[in-house]
Structure formats: structure tokens, C-alpha cells
Chain A
Amino acid sequence: MKTIIYTCPYVPAEWIAAHGLHPFRLSLDHTEPDSALARTEGLCPFVRCFIGEVMNNTRADGVIVTTVCDQMRRAFDILVRKCQLPAFLMNVPSTWQSFESQRLYIDELKRLGRFLTKLGGNSPSNNALAKVMLEYDSARKAILAAREYLSARRYAEAIASLYRDGPDKTPDSPTSTESSVDGIHLAIIGGPLMKQDFDLFDVIEQSGGRVVLDATETGERGLCAPFDRRRLHDEPLMELADAYFIGINDASRRPNSGLYKWLQQKIASRTVQGIIFRRYVWCDLWHAEVQRLKDWSNLPVLDIDTGGDNDNERQRTANRIRAFLEMLQ
């Protein structure tokens, strides 16, 4: 089966899978940046690693990039010039409240469908799409239900596994319960985490905390809304579009009031006591939210920026998390 790689949560894995292709959401590796870009001033480390991963990827048959962030949009320019892999730039509108923006997102899904068909995919029937959607929806529900019984790391890994391996092949089965460590309730908020960043969950637990809300892009915040089962059968594409386009709240939305509404509800229901804000250096969309979040939440916020991976930075981050949790105890 041909593999299509992507990172953006607004790309519905179900749509790719329904075309008979394997959606593979990349877990980026700090250690695989594109060397030609290593010293590029002002470049977000996540984008740098994404370009490196795509350039070096030998298993993929196509890549999907979105316009959600400006640097990713421009990363597409680099890929089409330097990389042989067929690439698709999906326009994901920043505005979301107007009918026209929602329509644009659906049109982009249809255009993506044509790209997938050209790569060897089959245009899915409504029934085929609904079946795939149901599988993913059930898997998501199972993962969400298991949250309280899993460590934060295992929970994050289960989400990553769903979008890497598919709904039927998650190695970290969320049904297997484990004793989750209790501690000070924390939320982790920000853009996507990279592979090595999952160590953060361990550091937090070892320091006496527990992430009860993974509001990163690769965590719970990046999951689409649950599907309306009846509409799923009648109008599966419309339901898919709504669940993703309206259901995922992100800092990039304009206005991004939906993100704060979502956070407010989650922070209250999970009795969050402190926030770890994780962002990449040069990621303006998230960086601009730090101070607003501090003013808005009335909770202690630890702002952790990262410029890439190195031992000093890892140690510094671990120390800061320990100090933050000591303060909260």
C-alpha cells in the first residue's frame, strides 16, 4: 500500500485511508534536520526537521503540506524544487466562521482527493468513506476513554500510533490499563511535539506532576471532533470536513477564540493547576499566545521554548520543569 506522509492535524487521515492509501503522520526527529538549512536564521526547528525528514524519506509515495503556518507554506516551495516526492499544498483557511471558508476547506479535500487518485488511490464511495471514518472514530473514542488509565506518555503515544499505524494496528492498546502516576495536574499546550519531546512527560512525572491535558497539536487538541454517526452515513465528506475544520482548535485560527473556549472547558473539568507552554523558537503563532494565556488563565505558566535538540537544552528544560513543580507543590 502506498504511503502518504503529513504532519498537520487538519489533514484527515480518514480521507487518505478511504482512497486506499496509508496515511502516515510523521513524528519528527530532532536529529534529522535538513543540513542545508541547519544554519538558516529565523527558521522554526519543526519546519527544518520536517524538510529534512521529507527529503530523506525513502518509504513515502507522496507528501501533504498545509498552509496553516507560513513557514510550512514556504517549506513546500523548497520541497517542490529539491525533492522528487509528489507534494500537495492544501489550503486550510485561517478564518473558520464563514460559510465560504468552510466551503473552501471541502473543496480542498476534493482537490486532495484528485491528487491521491493520481498517486494510485481510488476515489471512495460514501459507504467506503463512512466505514473508514467509523473505524477511526471508534479508535479515537477508545483512546480518549483510556486517558485516565494511561500515563501521559502512553496516552500521547497512542494518539501518535493511531495516525501512524492506523486504527487497527495501535501497538499501545489503550484497553490495557496501567497504574498512572498521580501528581500536580498540568496541561501542556502548544504546537506539535517531536519524537524526543515525549520524554517531557517522563520528566514531569518524575518531578511530581501529571499531564492531565495534552493540548499540543500532536496530543488531544489535534484530534477532530467525534463524528455524528447518522450524518456520517448520509454525508460522510461533509461530516469529515466539519469534524476536522470546525472541531480542531488551533492558535492559527482567526479569531482563535475557539481555542480558549476549548481550553477553558478542559482546564476546568480536569482541575489543571499549572500550564507548561511548549513552543518552537520562531513559531510566531504560538509565541504570541504566551502572554495572553498567562493573563487569561490565572494559572502559573511555564514558557519553554526550544531551538532544536541538544543535551544542554534538555537538561535546562528538565531543571525548569522541576523548579516549576516545586513551586506548585
Chain B
Amino acid sequence: MNNIPRRITLEEWDLRYEQLKKSGIYQPAYGGPLRRHVEDGDRRLLKLRYDNSAAALRLWNFLLTEEYRLHEARAAGRKIVGTMKDLGTVPVMAYCLENLVAFYPDGAWWIPCVMELGAGLLEIADSLGIDESFCPVRAMLGAFITKAHFPIPDMLVCSVGATCDDFSAIAQRLNGLGQPIFWWEIPHRRSPEPDETAVNLPGGFSAPKCQVEFVKSQLERIKVALEELAGDKLTEQKLSAGIRTANLVRRHLAGLRRLAFTAELCPVPALEMLIAEMLAIHFCSDRQETINVLKELLDEETSRVRAGKGVLDAGAARIFWVNPVADLQVMNLLEDCGGRICGTEYLFTHALDEIPEDLPPLEALAQMALADPMVGSSIDRAQRICTDIRRFGSEAVLISRIPGASHCALEGRVIGEIVQEKFDIPVLEIEVPPVTDSMRPTVRTRLEALIETVKAHRYKLKI
């Protein structure tokens, strides 16, 4: 069997799957060929390119079977918590209670892409007055109406305040349709004033102590609500254990990111790395399996790096990617054009940084929630991006606009200007809708131009 790392199509995966199966690879209960997900309607899979490792197969299968896990959890009598917007904080708390499982209904924003608009979720959102001027996360509204993509949660928790207006407005629309929501406030993170006690947050930001205390008070409210739902006490011991487990996930991801972004040859493609990062947010409804999946992927990556193997050509342009893409295929497209990902800021870096283990757990989680890049200013966010550009040696920044997202109108300008003030590297801003097929030539041309610019810059530096 040929084990040279490369990116392959779904057709090639059919053959590859049979080979791997014959070779006796371990497959978890949710394992199987990737093609079966196409039969469920995930037609975009036919157009993607995948890493050809067994670890990637497990990653994809884990991602694409989350709905079944949620239904299984409900059948087993566990309560389902729908956590919205905070991207990483509440699930750490929920998974500390054995009979709770948490997921992000926000994740429905990828359904229009994965099902190539076949699910009709955006049309439902349209009919509810949430049209295409909103972020594609409006698909979530359709998913709640159809009840076809996830079980309706027993409890919905949504952070508001310093969040994007799209999400807040869509969540309110859902609430107006009769879905109860537990709202909690995340204030805009600001710098401490001279007379205030400053707290250094995970990830390098700082905030006044009073803001940490405020967020802690909000998390205490959530804790009480989770306890009521679970019928169990969320003790400090349980929270501390939950934080330690979440940190295990984050350490695996840190290892994956470091190798993927700094190895001479790119060891894991952008798409699989994006999915791996997403797992940190809510563990894809199975915390322990998330650790197993990431561990296997990290082992594969490590062995490739040690063997000097990669999935892309040497010399690929090193791109820092800002914001997640609504169309997963664009991550492939970047690589097809001669780029590789060397640095990411997909809106949830706070879910990647380790949570302090030497603090009272709710205070540690409050610090983490306040470290959310979207909670602070675009200037803060740009500073963090600059730190990572330096760390990963990125040669260009690509800001991927999310159609209709309230934060995208102004933040790209601020981030782009600050990056260019600090580094002599190109910055490109593109908009990525859920399905880019009709604008693929335009996106491709722009990506090619960016990569040509990077390579021309390298040439200039040489002479």
C-alpha cells in the first residue's frame, strides 16, 4: 500500500479505504467509508480533496457523525445543551457533568456548504425575515425549524454583548419564535485603566480585574442553570478536572499547529487542520474521542515531519488565514494555487490557548472567555495576529470575509493596516460565501495573485 502523504479526491478515498481496511486499521464505531456521508446529502464532499491518512479518515468520520452522537446521547437519557456564540467556554463547563452533552447549533453555518444548499435552510431563514444580508450562520434558524440536523437542545445558552450583531439578532429571532434562551453577558474587553488592577489573560491580552469578576458572575449563573438541568452539583473538583481535560485537547492542537505551520514541508493539509481546530470548541460531542482523534492526527503529523514528508510542494507560499471560510473548498483552493497555511485566526483562538490550572476554575474560565478575540477590539486582534505571523513566519495575510457578518465591514481594514505597519507583507481580503462555485475563477485569480506576490517578494529578498 502506498503511504506517501498526499491530498486525494473522494473517489480515490473509496479505494484507499478498502486498502486501509484490509491492512487492519483501527476504526471506531463511527468509522466507515467517507462516501456514505454523500448518500446522506453531503454533496460538497465530492468536490473536496482530503489527506490520505487513516488519521484523517477518523477525523472526517468523527466530524460527520456528530448528529448521531447527539441522538444517541438523548436516547441514553443525557441532556443536551446548545451553546451559542461563546465558542469554547460553556462546553468546558457542561462536559464536567456526566449526563450533559454540549454542542454548537452555530455549526449549522456549514450545512449550506456541505449539502451544497440542498438542505433548504437558507430559504427557511429567508422566510423568517433573515435574508442573505445576514451571516450564513442564519442556517441555524432553518435547522431549528426543520429539526433535521440536530436534536432540539434541552437548554440553549447564548452569549451576547460584545458579539456580532448577526448572531445576536438571529438568536433573538429564534427566541421570538418561542425557543427559550439563557442569555449571558460578555462585555467588550478593554484595557485596564491606570487605577485598576490588571489581569493578564491567556493568549496575551489583558483586562481589568472587575471585568474578569463580572464574567465570573455570569458563569456562576450558567453553572447554576447547568446544575439544575443535570440534577447534579458542578463542584470545583469537577470543573478543575474538566479544565485539565480541555487543556489536553488544546495541547494536542498546539502541537499540531506548531508542526503544520512551521515544518519545512506542510505535513497536514489546511482543511484537516481547520477541522481539527474546530474540535477544540465543543469536542464534537465526545470529549474523550476528540483527544483520541487529535492524538492520532498528531502522531501521523509527527511521523511525516520526522520522515521529511509533506502533502504540498516545498516552497508553497506561507499564508496566515483570518476568519473561518463558509465554503470548505476554498481551503483546498489555496493549496491548489501554491499556498499553505502558516498561521490561523478562525475567531476562536481563546479556545486553543490553555486555560490556567492554578486559579479557581470559574475565574480561569472567565479569563478564557474574556480572551476571545471577538470580544475585544480589532486592534487587539490584529496585535495577536502579528505575534503569530512572527512566530510562524507567515509571508502574507488572507482575510476571509464572512458575507453579511457585522464585524467584517470594518475589522479587515484595521487588521490589514496594522499588519502592514509591522511587516512588509501583502494582505488580501476576499469574501467567501457558502458555495463559491460561481465565483471560483475570481477567487482563484485573487489567490494566485497573492501567491505570486509572495514569491516575487522572496525573489526580491534573494537579490
Task: Mark A residues whose CB is within 8 Å of B.
Answer: 37, 40-44, 67, 69-71, 73-78, 80-81, 89, 91, 93-95, 98, 100-101, 104, 107, 111, 114, 251-252, 254-256, 281-285, 287-292, 294
Contact = CB atoms under 8 A, between A and B. Distances in A.
A81 B168 contact: no
Contacts of B411: 74, 77
Contacts of A71: 165, 406, 409-410
Contact of A70 (B193, B407, B414): B407
Contact of A78 (B129, B164, B413): B413
B46 interface: no
B223 interface: no
Given A70-B407, A254-B160, A288-B172, A76 B377 contact: yes
A298 B308 CA distance: 68
- B interface, size bucket: 35 or more
A70 B164 contact: yes
A114 B193 contact: yes
Contacts of B405: 42
Contact of A255 (B133, B175, B187): B175
Given A77-B414, A254-B168, A254-B172, A70 B129 contact: no
24 contacts: A42-B405, A67-B161, A69-B165, A70-B406, A71-B165, A77-B410, A78-B410, A94-B183, A94-B185, A100-B185, A100-B218, A107-B210, A114-B193, A252-B165, A254-B171, A254-B183, A282-B404, A283-B165, A284-B166, A285-B168, A287-B134, A287-B169, A288-B172, A290-B129
A95 B187 contact: no
A74 B415 CA distance: 12
A77 B378 contact: yes
B413 A284 contact: no
Given A98-B221, A282-B406, 11 more contacts: A41-B401, A43-B410, A69-B406, A70-B165, A70-B407, A78-B410, A78-B413, A91-B187, A101-B185, A252-B168, A255-B181
Contact of A284 (B160, B169, B218, B410): B169
A33 to B, nearest CB: 13
A61 B190 CA distance: 22
B173 A288 contact: yes
B377 A284 contact: no
Contacts of A291: 128-130, 173
A287 B172 CA distance: 12
B379 interface: yes
Nearest to A101: B185
Nearest to A43: B409
A104 B212 CA distance: 12
Contacts of B408: 42
